[in-house]
């Protein structure tokens, strides 16, 4: 049951998915399943080699805050990578990396807030909660780094995932699972952070 959490935390995305289904002529349930890539990995016996890496550097006197990653998507996505420029009804703007029919894999907003993702298959998952793609878009609707961080802490997570959140002044790396959330910094007061597909501070 992912729908309950979606209705609670990102209800506007259900309308977007309905629009994708109506516009494409593809069954709504198929389009909904298309959004659940990470949840598919956790809830099936499908084994996938994950090789994404993220890095973030806090703002200094010499450069702005920096966040980025390599996105090693499945081979069947290759050639279909798309960047959406979204302007919402309230004027919010964001740039979202995706593939056709999908609401988003990673992205950044004009707030400024950015989000990068690394799946953590070793962590606890649930058959309910907010799926990763909805969390990505939910993060991008926040107005600041602090709001994005708080959003990660108040939602139920369906899948194990590290979210590297970028803001105007700082970048944070948050390991999230169905049962725990923890921030990773390589050492106290480190002005940078990074992550791959292996949990560093969370065991469940």
For 110-163, the pLDDT digits (tens) are: 999 999 999 999 999 999 999 999 999 999 999 999 999 999 999 999 999 999
Distance, in Å, from the CA atom of 107 to the CA atom of 77, rounded to the nearest integer, reads 17
Question: What does pTM read for this prediction?
Answer: 0.95
For 63-105, the pLDDT digits (tens) are: 999 999 998 877 878 899 999 999 988 899 999 999 999 999 9
Backbone angles phi, psi at 105, to 5 degrees: -110, -40
């Amino acid at each position: 049951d992912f729908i309950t959490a979606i209705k609670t935390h990102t209800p506007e995305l259900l309308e977007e998915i309905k629009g994708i289904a109506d516009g494409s002529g593809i069954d709504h349930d198929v389009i909904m399943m298309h959004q659940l890539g990470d949840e598919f990995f956790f809830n099936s016996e499908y084994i996938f080699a994950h090789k994404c890496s993220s890095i973030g550097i806090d703002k200094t006197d010499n450069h702005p805050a920096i966040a980025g990653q390599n996105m090693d998507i499945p081979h069947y996505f290759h050639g279909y990578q798309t960047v959406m420029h979204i302007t919402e009804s309230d004027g919010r703007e964001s740039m979202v990396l995706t593939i056709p029919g999908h609401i988003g894999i990673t992205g950044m907003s004009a707030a400024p807030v950015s989000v990068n993702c690394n799946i953590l298959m070793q962590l606890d998952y649930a058959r309910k909660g907010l799926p990763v793609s909805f969390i990505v878009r939910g993060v991008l609707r926040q107005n600041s780094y602090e709001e994005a961080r708080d959003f990660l802490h108040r939602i139920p997570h369906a899948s194990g995932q590290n979210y590297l959140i970028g803001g105007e002044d700082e970048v944070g790396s948050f390991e999230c699972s169905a049962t725990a959330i923890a921030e990773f910094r390589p050492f106290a007061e480190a002005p940078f952070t990074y992550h791959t597909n292996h949990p560093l501070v969370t065991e469940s």
